[in-house]
Amino acid sequence: MNRGKTACLFGGQGLQYIGMGKDYYDLDEDCRQIFKTASDVMGYDMAELCFDGQAELYEKEIYSLPVMLTIDLCAFTLAVKRGLTFQAVAGFSLGEYATLVAARVVSLPDSFELVKNLVLASESGFKQEGTYGMAAVNTTAEMCESMCDLVQDGYVRVANYNSIRQVTIAFDGKGLESFAEIAAARSIKVIPIKVNFPYHSDLMEPAAKVYQNEIRSIAFSDAAIPIYMNVTGETETNGDRIKAHVVRQLHAPVLWTKTMKNMHAAGFEHYVECGLNSVLCRMITETLGIDRKQTMFLRTS
């Protein structure tokens, strides 16, 4: 990857497993420092949670979100140590918080403070009764939007525009039941995601107001390299605007398909994914139609 512009991509949540990140921890002192910082801010032992924790804990955002941020940042640390350089960064959903550290917008401790406050704001600001969540749907955005329109009882909206072949919906219990019947009639697969809130939907606007207030004291510097923001699919470097976009991300859709197309149009030829697996590499190749050799999923070995 020594020719053409390279973007660093950070994955989101929902892929956690016991033992994750141990190779990073064992290999590198800076990675161990990331685990320590996460532990100090979150108030629990991040290494213990990742290596020896109980799988059911990963279903709670207070554990699952900081875990993913830890792994993303460890992978980025090793990428830099291997001599990789990036001309822009982008993070899918939660992965956007890793971009803030990679682009030097916030400090490492503040990134975990942001995620901690995100969870607390979701818990205190989201007052809806009943069951809510998210699910991946293996179809086009246009098809999914038309299916959402057919739901008569309950709430279902497109929350993430993942790729040309997949989107993510946010829903309540009744909405999911109706949507699942519509999807089954069309042989379209619906895959639940382990989250407890309808992130990136307008139902989270009250939580976003709480979040904005809670993080007002955390300073956002201008970005050292451009960040492709989830809510616009376009680059931003101004610290104040980045902060506003991060807050808005809580209740606005993730425009990942637009992000990928804009990166490609801007001349990016190579994409390095930092996270737990190569989901974003798959999205890139199927959406842009590029050679898989133009993507790299960072591994420790």
- What CATH number is attached to the domain comprising 221? 3.40.366.10
d(CA 265, CA 268): 7
CB-side exposure of 34: number of CA atoms within 13 Å? 28
- Looking at 160, 195, 230, the residue that finishes a domain is 195
> Is the model's pLDDT at 177 over the cut of 90?
yes
Does 258 lie in the same domain as 169? Answer: no
CA-wise closest residue to 106 among 94, 96, 121 = 96
Are the C-beta atoms of 105 and 219 separated by less than 8 Å? no
- Looking at 195, 217, 236, the residue that finishes a domain is 195
Does 286 lie in the same domain as 188? Answer: no
List pLDDT tens digits, range 211-269: 999 999 999 999 999 999 999 999 999 999 999 999 999 999 999 999 999 999 999 99
Question: Which pair of tokens denotes residue 202?
Answer: 């307008």
Report the number of distinct structural domains present in the chain: 2
d(CA 292, CA 75): 20
Does 137 lie in the same domain as 221? Answer: no
Does 239 lie in the same domain as 144? Answer: no
d(CA 252, CA 238): 20
Q: What is the mean pLDDT of residues 42-51?
A: 96
Does 234 lie in the same domain as 98? Answer: yes
Are the C-beta atoms of 229 and 245 separated by less than 8 Å? yes
Q: pLDDT class for 2, splitting at 50, 70, 90?
A: very low
pLDDT at 301: 45
Q: pLDDT class for 169, splitting at 50, 70, 90?
A: very high
Calculate what percentage of the chain has a pLDDT beyond 90: 86
d(CA 220, CA 105): 5
152's CB contacts (< 8 A; 6+ apart) are 178
Least confident of 2-6, 183-187, 193-197, 245-249: 2-6
Q: What is the mean pLDDT of residues 187-213?
A: 96
d(CA 225, CA 105): 9
Are the C-beta atoms of 269 and 3 separated by less than 8 Å? yes
The domain of 178 spans 132-195
List pLDDT tens digits, range 6-38: 999 999 886 788 899 999 999 999 999 999 999
Does 120 lie in the same domain as 140? Answer: no
Q: What is the mean pLDDT of residues 113-136?
A: 95
- Looking at 165, 195, 225, the residue that finishes a domain is 195
Does 248 lie in the same domain as 186? Answer: no
- Facing residues of 171 across strands? 133, 156
List pLDDT tens digits, range 63-103: 999 999 999 999 999 999 999 999 999 999 999 999 999 99
Does 187 lie in the same domain as 140? Answer: yes
Least confident of 2-6, 195-199, 207-211, 218-222: 2-6
Does 156 lie in the same domain as 10? Answer: no
Residues serving a catalytic function are: 93, 200
Amino acid letter for position 26: D
Amino acid letter for position 158: V
Does 112 lie in the same domain as 46? Answer: yes
Does 38 lie in the same domain as 111? Answer: yes
Does 137 lie in the same domain as 122? Answer: no
- What CATH number is attached to the domain comprising 190? 3.30.70.250
